[in-house]
Structure 1
Amino acid sequence: MNSDILPWLTQHLEKFSTLMLVIILVEIPIDFVAFQQREYKETAANFGVGIVHEILSRAIAIVLILSGLSFFSTLSPLRIPVNIGTILLAILIADFIYYWNHVTEHRIRFFWAYHSVHHSSTDFNLSVALRLSWIEDFILWIFYIPMVLMGFHPLVVLLSLEIVGLYQVWIHTQKIGHLGILEEFLNTPSLHRVHHGTNPQYIDKNYGAILCIWDKLFGTYQPEQEKVIYGLTKNIGTQNPIKINIVEYLRIWSDIKQSRNLREVSNSLFGSSISKSRQARLSNID
């Protein structure tokens, strides 16, 4: 393993992460001074959710992820060398896996239960990038086990995930319009606004992280054509970070209690005949 590249990349990612946080914070007084429409209670909730997520991620999740990926790495006889080229390849593969991981989060209720946290804000600004489930990182890494089985170093996989995640911070904004030809291959604020929309034609579209080519290849691409309505069709109606994180689990538990057999219990947890995000966002029924 190249001993210089990973520490250098880690250091610069930390700097970039700090920069993104500064930009998120700066947007708030700019909106206030410019009298831009903003739901400040939602912004406060985003920071409340985000702070706990960051604490859990740094204190526990990263250790778990590296331990888990390292274990599966020992099961593979393959070892891909660490250099600029292989790191770029890892980012591309991580971006592809993210697309399918994201699809899974929308179409299987067990995963939607945590991912719905990110979609539950009725406002859309940079702070929404912080609104991540407190258990997300404990589950998300499982989708990337194939990368270490392919021979990628666990640290390379983790850093690839960091890059895929950090890229998405800037696309949570209404301040940037269409970006023309960039939207032919990159995920942009316009495309991501669509992903957060409850408009019928926008639901379950634009799953990509860095690239939107996966959406084009697999039929989930949708350009922004009308004003986006954010949140869930049946919004959760709370800015309490704890309630934001558990509301969908409470709904699952309610469905399980009403189940008459194991099949219905299984469907309550893993139902995938129709996207649970679609059900939750198109229906007024819990």
Structure 2
Amino acid sequence: MSSLETRIDDLYRLPLGEFTAARNALAKTLSGEEARRVRALVKPTVIPWTVNQLYWHARPVYDRLVNAGGALREAQLAALKGQDADVRRSAEAHRRALGDAVRRAKELASGGRSSADGDDLARMLETLSLMSSPPAPGRLTALLQPAGFEALAGVQPVAPAEKTAANRPAQLLGSGATAPGADAAPAVRETARDKARRLVAERAEAQRLEAERLETERLAVERRRLEGEVRSAEEALAEARAAEGQARGALDRSMETRRSAEAKLEAARRAVDEHLSMVRRSFRVATANRGR
């Protein structure tokens, strides 16, 4: 990781109230594109900042939550496919990890002189842990929108008893008998497939919306960066105009001083010429008087 990336990470580790001043101070030490990039960095809101602190200062708690979310997501997908999966156990492990993460994050927020609402914090941590493609950690600036996988919460695999009844050979019950649940089995499987298709479609739509949101956020950051460049250019232009005005003023004063000096020189020359003329006349008069 480059030195600049490390310094940017350090900004997001700071107490929330120190972010803006530290960002501006960092930008002043840079130039060109790096300075513009740093000036465009967005200050996080309280909840994303708190999640960042969990990532930076309590990584084991953060990793445990993310891993539990991944395990729950896999269990739910397996359940939708009719495979054996202990969704309840995965959900309970995720619930415990989420509770621990919320408590630790609130402690970190309090230590950083900030206060995070527990419900909002829990929603964001849950959303983050269940996302299949979460944003890069540690630099979150805005609340995350659910990526659709939360809709899978509570989905259970087909009950073993139902599968057993559906697959039991009819002849075990006697000739002409129908296995209990045999007619229902296709409907159960179809219902599971329909649910899987619906949830997959919902997830795809949610991911599309999430991609749009991230793109909107990226464009907003880019817009702020460009606005920062415009402001910098305007400030530079104003400074150049001020310098030009000062230079013009100095030039005008210099020209005036020159004209004044030239006028004084011309006056001095005339005075010298007049004095020489007087001396010559006096000399001629004196010479004429001696000749008499």
- Provide TM-score, normalisation by structure 2: 0.23
- Provide TM-score, normalisation by structure 1: 0.24
Give 1 or 2: higher helix fraction: 2
Larger relative CO (CA 8 A, sep 6+): 1 or 2? 1
Whose radius of gyration is greater, 1 or 2?
2
